[in-house]
Amino acid sequence: MLKKDMQLWIWSVSCLTTGIVIGGAANQVLFGQPARASDAIPEVVSARTFQVVDAKGNVRAKLSAKPDGSAGLAITTPEGKPGLMVAVGADSRPVIGFPDSQGSLRAAISITDKSDLSFNVLDKDMNPAAACVVSATGGPALNVLDKNSSMRVRLGITDASGGDPTATNPNLVLFDKNEKGIYQAY
């Protein structure tokens, strides 16, 4: 009986040893080596779009480049609505957009095609309603527009035609619906 017990014990130890060796090899194949921070950091990561997701898998930010040459960053609310937009258009002009709680764009800061800095306020239908502009040559103006985006009031240090600021005194211009000046005060 002792001989059979010894054989059973040797067989058990052999099976256990074989199981450990095979299990270790399988672990290496299936799970590999533990990751080290220095091993996996690429110098450059390239893609057309990057998305950042929260713990629930919801997209919270997206950085993308479009075929037309524009690029932008959109940050969303926890509900998935637009929260902030930063972009550079295909024309190389930057813009920062501020949406309302419904996700509609309501304000934007941009550089115009004339290199003017412009802060625009949009109505509920996303039509321009007012703009604070500082021209590339330094003249500030506040423009108020009607529902058709026609300028109706300008207050600033600019000439009445909207050209470069040459006046050093403030001025106020009221316009009709066709943007023809109907009242000027200097």
Taking the C-alpha atoms of residue 61 and residue 168, their distance in angstroms, rounded to an integer, is 45
Domain coverage including residue 3: 1-32
pLDDT value of position 102: 86
In tens, the pLDDT along 11-25 reads: 544 544 444 555 555
In tens, the pLDDT along 82-97 reads: 999 999 999 999 999 9
108 and 19 within one domain = no
pLDDT value of position 115: 84
84 and 2 within one domain = no
Exposure class string for 47-57: b at 16+ Cβ within 10 A, else e = eeeeeeeeeee
53 and 28 within one domain = no
- The model scores a pTM over 0.85: no
Largest CA distance in the chain: 120
| Residue 110 contacts residue 128 (beta carbons within 8 Å) | no
In tens, the pLDDT along 140-173 reads: 899 999 999 999 999 988 654 555 545 567 889 9
Partners of residue 104 on adjacent β-strands: none
